[in-house]
Amino acid sequence: MGVTIHYRGQLTNRDTVYSMIEEIIDIAQTMGWQYHHMDESWSSLPSAHLESGNEPGIHIVGDCGLKGIHFKPHERCEPIWLYFNAHGMLTSPFRVALDAEEGYPIRMPWISTKTQFGGIEIHITIVKILQYIKQKYLPNLEVEDEGGYWATGNVGELKKCFEAIEEGMQQVQQATAAINSNDTVDEIIQKIEDAIRRDDSKKERN
């Protein structure tokens, strides 16, 4: 749950990936953002796959066959993934590793970045960077912005979207706080509905 930007596209000229990486590095360094870039071979098939090791969680093992960069404009915002495979298609290392079981099919996936916890200004900044990338490197870039800012540029509507989802998450948190381990499914549903009704009643009084 949370406002998310979805995007996909393909380079018209694969060689431009290097100048794009340089520009993003320059932006990230100027803004003090975390970033990481890759320059793996496009001449061989990827070997990346997911493994669970001694440390908690899963890890990518092997070569992804990607060139590109990802950056994180806020500690509570998900990274923006700008990696490209040998066909110039926008993807991410994790997506490549997930495709291992299917033999790394050639397809252009949707990549997603959740901005809800980074805030409105970060969301707007990401959209503007994607607009610039579309203009200079990815003319066929498709963007689906759950906040609507990509399509409208309306900050007021974006703010309403952020606030509505924040209220929804608070309702869920209130409901889950009241749930006990021995509650039945019906009791859990009832507690969630009660929390939503209480929140709606507060809004009406205000």
pLDDT tens-digit map of 107-134: 999 999 999 999 999 999 999 999 999 9
d(CA 154, CA 152): 5
Q: For residue 16, give the nearest of 136, 109, 188 by alpha carbon.
A: 136
pLDDT for position 54: 73
Q: Are residues 105 and 195 in the same domain?
A: no
Q: Are residues 147 and 171 in the same domain?
A: no
Q: Are residues 89 and 53 in the same domain?
A: yes
Q: Are residues 104 and 194 in the same domain?
A: no
Q: Are residues 147 and 199 in the same domain?
A: no
Rounded average pLDDT over 159-164: 92
Asked whether residue 201 carries a pLDDT value surpassing 60, the answer given is no
* Local structure of 126: helix, strand or coil: helix
* Cβ atoms of residues 162 and 183 within 8 Å: no
Q: Are residues 145 and 188 in the same domain?
A: no
Q: What is the domain range of residue 192?
A: 157-205
Q: Are residues 196 and 116 in the same domain?
A: no
Q: Are residues 146 and 163 in the same domain?
A: no
d(CA 122, CA 194): 34
The pLDDT tens digits of the residues spanning 6-64 come to 999 999 999 999 999 999 999 999 999 999 999 999 999 999 999 987 777 789 999 99
pLDDT for position 52: 85
Q: Are residues 109 and 145 in the same domain?
A: yes
